[in-house]
Amino acid sequence: MSKLVFAGASSELPNTGSTSNSPGIPGTQDVGGVLLAAVMTQDNQVHSCATAGWNLVGQYNGTGLTLSVWWAAAGAAAPTFTWTSSVANVAQVVYFRSEWDNPVAVTPVGTPGSASIGSSSTHTSTGVTGVGDQDVVILIDTTLSNAALTTPSGWTYVADQGGGPSFGNQHITFCSKLINAGSASGSTSSAGGSSNWVTIQLELIQDLAPANELQISALEVNAWLTGTAPPASGRRRQGAIVC
């Protein structure tokens, strides 16, 4: 069971030329949920956000466009993102609610993978590793074309937002992938807008702790037998996965 589940997206249309964007936030939020925002502008404008509670994950420049990613704990005020020049832009906020009964918020966004950039209609992204069991990885695609990314195989569509062409085309697409085997999300390749693009993957960390506990969901005891009396070694061997 994933502890973070997509529960809504902002719906404000993209702005066709301005120095800010206020995408709004989706609906009612619960304690432990995570708000994730993606902001795209033309050119390599430096994005800022003065709204309390919003944290920059990173900003990633492509050719003629830039993408910044932000997160906030559920309940944060609707953000306003700003930059210096009046350019085409689009921003969207998606909300993931926590399935914990009594979550305790920790930093919910892991270290993102490497950004990928390109210009063809085939958009690729670089996977993230070290993902926790049952964590959700988010793929964000943005392009200077008003076309959503085709959901890559094995991924789930979350939301998209775009507009144009009066002040330039732009589009953002969110996809998600529940990691329930191994610890790597894997790279992606799928069709997207035939223009310049930037993609990034990042992990939403599931460890929104419900309590201060060591929780044991399974325990097994076995005796390893042998046909010959073993020599004493006095050793013990421990192994663990990090997923």
Partner 1 sequence: MATKLHAANSLRGMYRNLLAIQEVTTAGTFNSAYTSQSIQIPVGNGIIATPVFPVSVTNYYFHAECAASGTNQNNSSGAPWLQLLDSAGTVVFKLVYSSLGNIIAQYWNGSGYTNSGSTFLAPWFTTGLALSAIDLNVVCGASGSWTLSVAGSPLASGSIASASVDNIARLYLGNLSQQPMQWSQIKGADYDHSTEPLMFSELNGDSAANAGQLSGTYADLDTVPINDSTFVAIGTSGNKAGFTHTGITIPGGYYMSAMCLGAKMRRTSTISDGLFGVRSGSTNADGAALGMVGGYDVFNDMLDTDPVTSALWTQSTFNAAEPYLGAV
- Which residues of the chain form contacts with partner 1 (CB under 8 A)? 1, 104, 129, 132-135, 180-184, 205-207, 209-230, 232-243
Q: How far is the CB of 199 from partner 1 (least distance, A)?
A: 22
Nearer to partner 1, 65 or 178 (CB): 178
CA 83 to chain centre: 23
Are the beta carbons of 55 and 68 closer than 8 angstroms?
Answer: no
Q: How far is the CB of 100 from partner 1 (least distance, A)?
A: 9
Question: Which of 113, 136, 133, 135 lies closest to 124 in space, CA to CA?
Answer: 113
Q: How far is the CB of 191 from partner 1 (least distance, A)?
A: 22
Q: How far is the CB of 37 from partner 1 (least distance, A)?
A: 25
Question: Which of 164, 153, 188 lies closest to 88 in space, CA to CA?
Answer: 164
Q: How far is the CB of 7 from partner 1 (least distance, A)?
A: 18
Nearer to partner 1, 78 or 105 (CB): 105
User: How many Å apart are CA 10 and CA 23, to the nearest integer?
Assistant: 6
Place of tokens 């004493």: 232
- Please state, as a whole number, how many other Cβ atoms lie within 10 Å of the Cβ of residue 23: 27
Q: The tokens of 185 are what?
A: 């999300």
Q: How far is the CB of 52 from partner 1 (least distance, A)?
A: 25
Q: How far is the CB of 243 from partner 1 (least distance, A)?
A: 6
Nearer to partner 1, 78 or 104 (CB): 104
Side-chain half-sphere of 171: how many Cα atoms within 13 Å?
A: 22
Nearer to partner 1, 166 or 228 (CB): 228
User: How many Å apart are CA 68 and CA 91, to the nearest integer?
Assistant: 9
DSSP reduced 3-state for 42: strand
Nearer to partner 1, 166 or 234 (CB): 234
Nearer to partner 1, 3 or 47 (CB): 3
**Sequence-distant (≥ 6) Cβ neighbours of residue 171 within 8 angstroms:** 90, 141, 142, 143, 145, 146, 147, 148, 160, 161, 162, 163, 193
User: How many Å apart are CA 26 and CA 79, to the nearest integer?
Assistant: 12
DSSP per position, 71-98: EEETTPPPP-EEEEEEEEEEEEEEEEEE
Nearer to partner 1, 166 or 217 (CB): 217
